[in-house]
Chains A and B, each alone.
Chain A
Amino acid sequence: MDRRTFSKFAFVTTLMAGAGHAPAASAQVRQIRMIEAGGKSGDSVEDGYIKPFTKKTGIKVVRESPNEFGKLRALVEGGRTDVVLFEMGAASLEQAKSLNLVEKLDWSKIAAMPIFPEAKDDFGMGYQFYSTLMAWRKGVKAPASWKDFYDAKAFPGKRSLPDDPVFVLPTVLLAAGVPMKDLYPLDVDRAFRQLDAVKKDVSVWWKAGAQPPQLLRDNEVQYAMAYSGRVTGQEGIEYTFNQANLDLSFFCVVKGSSTADVDAAYKLLYEMSVPANQAMAAEVISYTGNSPDLEALLPPAKLGQFPTASANKTVQFFNDAAWWFKNGDDVQKRWQEFILSL
């Protein structure tokens, strides 16, 4: 379904909400539905977690993607309760909580294996760590920090950045010399001033994670900010986790889901906490699960590619989801104005 049909669809489903469309309660769940990020990340969910889950319970899982936040709102406001699990980032999770779009999790029922504390939220299970980092075309001068990355004089070439202030603003402040631990509260005015100084070197503001590796390969740009899973292990592209943005994707239960669906979803969430399953998922894409015991199961030769490998985790920073929830609206508006002034 493309975006245009989707928005039409969203309106129609919202319209039907008034018709009192109650979900049929069934004790035996044969299948559940989830909306996830798609691409290789979705395949990793399939191989790592859905396969063992279906084998154990006999319940099939239908995946849908992409997981744009507006879709969650359309689901809940439209009273469509057949989708039980929804994947989202940390900042979106805060927003979903405040808009009352997700159900509180019963962690005692999930009975998860030991997981990192940041992955255990009242309303979501963080299941996948990913990084947004600097990458460059093999053969150009390698940057070691965001200061280098944004210095087009010393590191000549075109840049590509995401069309998203959440990823871009912290990195320009790091380039200006703000230490990682002092990033928040974000100095937005300073960040936009910094951006004005570097925007002429940016030829593409990307929207999809598949764009930066392609732009680097085609030599359209020489330096790019990219999701780690898209560039690690790629021929002709180099990267560093230094000063990268470590992030966590959550799975949440959609508001209004039936008890039977939720129980099934809990069993799937349990599978997401099993280190052996996470190792399977990490074979599909170089993102890592939430278990502190996972590192021992990862192939040593590829350890450098994973966001949470000890050597990588310590040189990165987390965004402050609560800050973004509070200020996101204003910053997004300024961002739009900035993009228009290019």
Chain B
Amino acid sequence: MRFVGPLLAVVVVCFDIPVLFMLSYSLSGTQGLTLANYGAVFSSPVFLKVIANTLRISLIATAVSAVLGYALAYWISGLQGWARNLALTAVVLPFWVSILVRTYAWIVVLGNGGLVNRLLQWSGISTEAVQFLYTDFGVIVGMANISIPLFVLPLYAAMIRIDRRYMQAAASLGASNSVIFWKVFFPISVPAFLSSILLVFILCLGFYVTPAVLGGGRVPMVANMLDTYINRIPRWGTASAVSTVLLVVTLALFAGYRRANARLGG
């Protein structure tokens, strides 16, 4: 317990005070307290469009990595011995590679002269280079690539703790494999799955590098817009107002998650 005080102080000084500071920036103008920054955000379609676009891209990327991550975690939890360790290592390994490097690697894979396009042309599926990069698709692939391990690890940890006797009991009562999965296994894994979804989704909302590199400036997301308004223009009041709106949206999502979780628990 004696660590709580100092830790609390660190959290307050390093995280909470800057957030309060951001709020005060968003409310201050040349003539003191003002709502002008929020007025600018809500009256111009640009900001809301970027926020909507960010939510849309994050949602798709989260969905893609949720499906793949869940399947991967399920498969790994069924492996034994060295195979399981090997698979886990393969999932964890990218964590040691910088996000920037992993993002640029996709250019080599998905570019006009990249691996995928050369394969498509060699096999005759396509005669022209397919534009994967600098589109929503490229950004979503890059984001999913980074977030899949964030699904696999917590899900794997939750799955190996599920008591296998439940499944054996269901099988002994004559349930088919798919019934066992959907009626027994999946519901037990849902709380871990939901919290991973929330974690990844919130993380995706703040992605900066991936849309900047793989979006080619054509896939605007909030972090990139904030960069413009903080570093280039610089209108910090507007940037703070946009950040605050995003924060409120995220908190609302979190509240929704808490309610859903409480209902599941109850």
Contact = CB atoms under 8 A, between A and B. Distances in A.
Interface of A: 3-4, 7-8, 10-12, 14-15, 68-71, 73, 163, 203-207, 218-220, 328-329, 332-333, 336-337, 339-340, 342
Contacts of B107: 218
30 contacts: A3-B208, A3-B227, A3-B230, A3-B231, A7-B226, A7-B230, A11-B22, A14-B21, A15-B21, A68-B232, A69-B232, A69-B233, A73-B234, A73-B236, A163-B217, A203-B216, A203-B218, A205-B216, A206-B216, A206-B217, A207-B212, A219-B112, A219-B113, A220-B111, A333-B44, A333-B46, A337-B45, A339-B218, A340-B49, A342-B218
A65 to B, nearest CB: 13
A106 B209 CA distance: 42
Interface string B177-196: 00000000000000000000
B220 A340 contact: yes
Interface in B211-227: 212, 216-218, 220, 225-227
A329 B235 CA distance: 9
Of the four ranges (under 10, 10 to 19, 20 to 34, 35 or more), the interface on chain B belongs to: 20 to 34
Given A68-B231, A207-B217, 14 more contacts: A3-B227, A3-B231, A4-B208, A8-B18, A69-B234, A70-B230, A70-B231, A203-B218, A220-B133, A332-B228, A332-B233, A333-B44, A340-B50, A340-B53
A328 B232 CA distance: 11
Interface of B: 17-18, 21-22, 44-46, 49-50, 53, 107, 111-113, 131, 133-134, 208, 212, 216-218, 220, 225-228, 230-236
A68 to B, nearest CB: 4
A328 B112 CA distance: 35
A6 to B, nearest CB: 8
A207 B214 CA distance: 12
B14 to A, nearest CB: 8
Contacts of B112: 218-220
A70 B217 contact: no
A336 B133 contact: no
A204 B111 contact: no
Most chain A CB within a 10 A radius of its CB, from B44, B46, B217? B217
B46 A337 contact: yes
Contacts of B131: 203
B11 to A, nearest CB: 14
A255 to B, nearest CB: 15
Contacts of A12: 18
A264 B236 CA distance: 32
Nearest to B219: A342
B237 to A, nearest CB: 12
Most chain A CB within a 10 A radius of its CB, from B44, B220, B225, B230? B230
A69 B216 contact: no
B230 A339 contact: no
A14 B44 CA distance: 29
A116 B153 CA distance: 62
A340 B111 contact: no
A30 to B, nearest CB: 31
Contacts of A337: 44-46
Contacts of A342: 218
